[in-house]
Structure 1
Amino acid sequence: MGGRWSRWVPRAALAIGIVAVLGMTACSSGDDAASPRGTQTSSDAPAGQAAPKPPAKITLEPVSGAADVSPVAPVKVSVADGTIEELTLTNPTGKQVIGELSADRTSWSVGEPLGYGKTYTWAGTARGTDGRTAPISGSFTTVTPARQVDASLNVGDGRTYGIAMPIAVKFDRAVTDKAAVQKVMTVTTSVPTEGAWAWLDDRTAHWRPKTYWAPGTKVNMVAKLYGTPFGDGTYGAEDRTVHFTIGRSQIVKADTRTHRLVVIRDGVQVADFPASYGLESDPGRVTHSGTHVVMSKHESYSMTNPKYNYENVVVPWAVRISNNGEFIHGYAPSIWAQGKQNVSHGCVNLAPANAKIYFDSAMTGDPVEVVGSTEQLGPEDGDYHDWALTWDQWLGKSAV
């Protein structure tokens, strides 16, 4: 009796239990419905799937359609989210430009100067991380100069010069934008050397050290003139480079008052010659005081000066020391005056035998320090009056 009574459940209680279970089910279903089916709340990719990879992004430098591009400006193609599969840059005749592809194949850069006034065209493909290919295309045009300016140098490759030698760059047209040109001309030396560029006129720039070069210095000069704007629509025609060496130290000390010419080599006096300098009573014949520079050597040289009524007077062992007609040379007719008085027309006269000794020792670029006269070396004397300027005066002629 008791056992049967314990198994009996009233109908009302059973109904309440069923409702409770159904209620719990309805609550659970409500939580799932809070986020609609198919909606991605934290990722573009469905749950459990990776995001799609991006396509290749191609950048051209300069941009396609660019005009008046410098032929030496950076020219490259870069690819983000991908790599370059193939690429060419061609000139108007179809010739391919030399270039270099980076190791990771994400960039390609031009490896040679381009031409003036030409249109260059890109062609190629890149593959993105999405696996798809994308075309590389476009074009640009380089600048067409109104004129091209060329330059010449006073020093030569592999040559050796004296300790006062300046580097002279002579342009065949006037330079308007001197600062732009000066910035692309660099001088490097094997021995630390303080020096600077100075513009001596609109066509001429010289580089000289603050003090004489150290013997044995190796000098490199690079002028990246091609593609450089010179102003007024003109551009450089060609780069110029030179590598030379400074030789031993030899300094000539020439005193017009003592009528002597002394040669000092590597700090040691090696010669002391009697000399005759320019006649002091005539300003047109005075040997100019100041530091001259040996410019050239001639075993014989014909002298002409209509103002003083002589023509084709041939002298031996002539060493030019300025562009105003001053030489150190042999002259037998003035031996009587050498060491005693000054009678020349501006040159330094030595006995022919002494002139030969000096001639054999002289090197282009050697300094000749003249003192004691009433006239000073200056710009009107032409090349090379570089050392007639103080260092501050020299720096004042820089364009930058």
Structure 2
Amino acid sequence: MNFRHNVRLGGGIARMVERRSLLKAAAIAAPAGVLAACSGDDAADGAGGSGGDGGGQESRPVASITADPKPDATDVDVTSPVKLTVAEGTFDDVKVTNEDGKTVEGSLNEDKTEWVSGEPLGYGRKYTYAASATGSDGKKTSFDGTFGTVQPASVVRATLYPGDDAEVGVGQPITVKFEAPVSDRAAAQRALSVETSTEVEGAWAWLNDQQVDWRPREYWPAHTEVTVTAKLYGVNYGGGAYGKADVSTSFRIGRNQVVKVHTPEHRMRVYRDGKEVANYPCSNGEDADPNLNTPNGTVIVMTKEPTSIFDNEQYGYTDVKKTWCCRISNHGEYIHENEENAANIGKANTSHGCVNLFAADAKAYFDSAMLGDPVEVTGSKADFPTTSDVMDWLLDWETWKSKSAL
């Protein structure tokens, strides 16, 4: 006996036939009709690709394109590459442009399945990508979208010293200076690298929030080739400030020359590769007054000035002209000629902190000196203050390393 059940569907009545009746009806139908119905069902369920005509609708292309960053992304990092990838197909064309229509450089991989940009993006720009590809099924597909990059509150310029092609002494540190304070020092420091032609142990140290220096543990090996790279463009310094541009420099270390002054001796000795090559009589800062001492510590030749004008109203002199001047600190000390103090040179310390030499000796030393040459001073009551922006060798190695942000 067959049983029929009435079921309401959308307000109407539909009949359901007990299973045995359904099987009987299927046996009467032609097999080809069953096969045609299954094929149509496959297309109708939206599987994409082959399998019937879906009631006359063409199947979707199998190729699919994705992008990084995704469409409509904002605050995109300007140094992260733009990537477009196609699955189950190959690219026919990819183009990324900014709002001015300038094309971003980029390239496809060998399989033409991935496109990667080859240059950094601009700050605060809107970019459009458009791509087309052919799938493994021979069908075409396309993709487009836009995204925007981060807009800094400010961009901060950085400078590097020594400059390109410079030749400097064995005590010369590498200096990176920023035109505004850096909050995220670690982020800035991670962007810095030093390469040397011979192995050199060294470290970065922040001397203040606008300056980070790299110095070797010991003096540089003579004739070392040095390359410094600061990939600072796109670096987030914190507080809405970002790096303005990448900077780099390549320079070399010269011969090893070191000056040693033991103030009670009234002598200035010059060493090349550890051997004494000159020994000049000198007059150093007054012994009795620590404020006038030539202070203890290791400093470097910072500038070479054939003529300098000295002023110190506190001690009663202004507009005093001296020759063959080598600045050794930002505290005010120089090595220079002072024939006016000739009676004390080699005999007594009577200067206001500078190392006074006879004119001929000052000229000879001036001609031999190189920026970055170390000057080691001992024997005084006072030490050089560690407040200058060139205090690198006044700190012991452990203290120096403690100033790293990493």
CA contact (8 A) 2:81 2:120 kept: no
Match of 1:274 among 281, 292, 300: 281
Task: Report how far residue 238 of structure 1 moved.
Answer: 1.1
Task: Report how far residue 383 of structure 1 moved.
Answer: 3.0
2:120 matches 1:120: no
Quote the residue 2:404 is aligned against. 398
Quote the residue 1:61 is aligned against. 68
| Whole-Å separation in 2 of the counterparts to 1:255 and 1:55 | 83
Unpaired runs of at least 5, structure 2: 1-30, 40-48, 52-58
| Whole-Å separation in 1 of the counterparts to 2:360 and 2:100 | 65
Quote the residue 1:133 is aligned against. 140
Quote the residue 2:111 is aligned against. 104
Trace 1:1-400 onto structure 2 (pairs within 5 A).
55-380=62-387, 382-400=388-406
Task: Report how far residue 267 of structure 1 moved.
Answer: 2.2
Task: Report how far residue 74 of structure 1 moved.
Answer: 2.1
Task: Report how far residue 314 of structure 1 moved.
Answer: 0.6
Moved more, 383-392 or 175-184: 383-392
| Whole-Å separation in 2 of the counterparts to 1:369 and 1:349 | 15
Whichever residue aligns with residue 77 of structure 2, its letter is S
After superposition, give the CA deviation of every residue in 1:266-310 in whole Å (9 maximum; x if it has no partner).
222110011111012222211111001111101111111111110
The alignment's TM-score, normalised by the length of structure 2, stands at: 0.85
| Whole-Å separation in 2 of the counterparts to 1:57 and 1:254 | 75
Whichever residue aligns with residue 405 of structure 2, its letter is A
| Whole-Å separation in 1 of the counterparts to 2:208 and 2:301 | 21
Q: Secondary structure at the match of 1:379?
A: coil
Task: Report how far residue 37 of structure 1 moved.
Answer: 6.5
Task: Report how far residue 53 of structure 1 moved.
Answer: 11
Task: Report how far residue 54 of structure 1 moved.
Answer: 7.3
CA contact (8 A) 2:61 2:139 kept: no
Q: What's the C-alpha RMSD, in Å, of the aligned pairs?
A: 1.9
| Whole-Å separation in 1 of the counterparts to 2:68 and 2:108 | 15
| Whole-Å separation in 1 of the counterparts to 2:143 and 2:264 | 78
Whichever residue aligns with residue 397 of structure 1, its letter is K
CA contact (8 A) 1:53 1:130 kept: no
Identity %: 46
CA contact (8 A) 2:157 2:243 kept: yes
| Whole-Å separation in 1 of the counterparts to 2:50 and 2:119 | 46
Whichever residue aligns with residue 385 of structure 1, its letter is M
Distance 1:133 1:53, change over 3 A: closer
Aligned structure 1 segments of 4 or more residues deviating by more than 6 angstroms: 36-40
After superposition, give the CA deviation of every residue in 1:307-342 in whole Å (9 maximum; x if it has no partner).
111011111100011111110001112222112211
CA contact (8 A) 2:169 2:256 kept: yes
| Whole-Å separation in 2 of the counterparts to 1:55 and 1:219 | 53
CA contact (8 A) 2:87 2:113 kept: yes
| Whole-Å separation in 1 of the counterparts to 2:328 and 2:143 | 62
| Whole-Å separation in 2 of the counterparts to 1:98 and 1:104 | 19
Quote the residue 1:23 is aligned against. none
Task: Report how far residue 366 of structure 1 moved.
Answer: 0.5
| Whole-Å separation in 2 of the counterparts to 1:91 and 1:281 | 69
Q: Secondary structure at the match of 2:322?
A: strand
| Whole-Å separation in 1 of the counterparts to 2:397 and 2:223 | 23
Unpaired runs of at least 5, structure 1: 1-32, 47-51
Whichever residue aligns with residue 341 of structure 2, its letter is S
CA contact (8 A) 1:53 1:129 kept: no
CA contact (8 A) 1:87 1:136 kept: no
| Whole-Å separation in 2 of the counterparts to 1:304 and 1:164 | 28
Q: How many corresponding residue pairs?
A: 358
CA contact (8 A) 1:279 1:285 kept: yes
| Whole-Å separation in 1 of the counterparts to 2:219 and 2:159 | 23
Quote the residue 1:11 is aligned against. none
| Whole-Å separation in 1 of the counterparts to 2:131 and 2:50 | 32
Task: Report how far residue 377 of structure 1 moved.
Answer: 1.6
Q: Secondary structure at the match of 1:333?
A: helix
Moved more, 253-262 or 278-287: 278-287
